[in-house]
Amino acid sequence: MDHPAIGTQHDLASKISSRGATVGIIGLGYVGLPLAAACARARFPTVGFDIDKTKIDAIGAGRSYIDAVEPRELERLVAEGSFRATTAFEELSSCDIIVICVPTPLGVHREPDLQYVENTARTIARFLKADQIVVLESTTYPGTTEEIVRPILEQSGLLSGKDFFLGFSPEREDPGNKRYTTTVIPKVTSGDGEAASKLVATFYEAVFNEVVAVSAPRVAEAVKITENIFRAVNIALVNELKVIYDAMGIDIWEVIDAASTKPFGYMPFYPGPGLGGHCIPIDPFYLTWKSQEYGLRTRFIELAGEINTSMPSYVVAKLERLLDRMQKKSLGSSRILVVGIAYKKNVSDVRESASFEIIRLLEQRGASVEFHDPLVETVPTMRRFPEMAGRVSTGLTPLEIERFDAILIATDHDDIDYALLSAHARLVVDTRNAIDKRGFATPSTFKA
């Protein structure tokens, strides 16, 4: 029996219980900043770490750049000293708990790009000391915590489960969801060994309303991947049904609404112009890559990916047919207004948004394209579509709407005047059923 480890575990648990443990959050984006605010709100001294100085400066001034963190709350947490942010990673040595919230994108061939996780683990290893807890929250394939992160941290000379405690707890942020905010969503936790499992659960129990502990990090990693695969596959299914039913003259939204009245055995998913965001278009392919080690194929995931990535082309093709039929105009000679470039309604997040692929396809065909989004005034610099950075949202007035040959609704923010669009647009192609469900449909409104 390792008595020093048991003693350390007890000391850390007591420190967490008394709120004497300092929490360090690495990566202050859509996951890290809400988590940091939640830890500070739970009365833990919290330090945020990021390489982006603009984020550090914004936090220092009490300015929130993430919708999920209210500016007034951030300003209060910073003013009272509960939360501060820094680029000085050497301060990790003074943290008792370190949580990694960095991006996990895909490479050009849909292979996992773990450079941010690996580089962060190397940075932690430089400052790692005994009796610290390190938790990975970045979404990844099963085995990453034990096979990638642990060996890097142990290059410090300290051993997981003996000198420090390692765990994985998947983020479950849902941007724009006012009901299920950060701490309301049940938190899945795990640890590398029994002591780590208990400590990681103890920490999150102090911050979240409910904790669901699982047996190992690879199980928790599989939980997150499974949640996102479930959504990706079911969205692909309704996207495929949309195409089939449209050819039959059947409205997929009417079908889904009626099917949703069944009180068992059915869960509604809705079609759209393609997938977006930092999770669903990306995370399933981490499992696709990992499964190759076992000589297995993820056929549902790959098929879902094919269907979902084909949706922008389907939308553009339908718009082209409608322009020809309704206005006798070619796509290449048309002016198009894309309404909504955020990846989902009521958020300003544009990551992986299908709107940009639609704009690219339209402009490839010669169309003149502008966009309107009440939550995105200017297109930010993005990993994909860097050429679109700096474009500015067009105003929505009767005169502006009438300038365009067609309006294409890609994201159905609530803060859009759909009645105005319907009244003044020559042609509306609606990928979200935004017009019809609000009762503004006209003979020039079509679903896609």
Please give the helix or strand (H or E) that residue 406 lies within, else none.
strand 406-409
- Beta-bridge partners for 168: 136, 190
Neighbours of 151 (CB within 10 A): 12
**Residue 279 falls in the annotated catalytic set:** yes
Burial class (CB in 10 A: 0-12, 13-18, 19+), 174: middle
The HSE-up count of residue 119 (CA atoms within 13 Å, CB side) is 13
Strand, coil or helix: 440: coil
Whether the Cβ atoms of residue 251 and residue 271 lie closer than 8 Å to each other: no
From CA 289, how far away is CA 297, in angstroms rounded? Answer: 9
Beta strand 97-100 with 133-136 is parallel
From CA 252, how far away is CA 258, in angstroms rounded? Answer: 10
Rg of the Cα trace of the chain?
24
DSSP letters along 264-285, please? SS-------SS--SSSTTTTHH
**Angle, helices 299-327/354-364, rounded to nearest 10 degrees:** 50
277 Cβ partners below 8 Å, 6+ apart? Answer: 175, 343, 344, 349, 351, 352, 353
Q: Spot the catalytic one: 39, 95, 101, 279.
A: 279
From CA 438, how far away is CA 429, in angstroms rounded? Answer: 15
Q: Which of 311, 175, 155, 164 is nearest to 246 (CA)?
A: 311
Please give the distance of CA 434 from its chain centroid, rounded to a whole number: 23
Q: Which of 356, 411, 425, 426 is nearest to 388 (CA)?
A: 356
Output the CA–CA distances (angstroms, integers) from residue 308 to 109, 195, 242, 291, in the order listed. Answer: 17, 42, 12, 21
Active site residues: 279
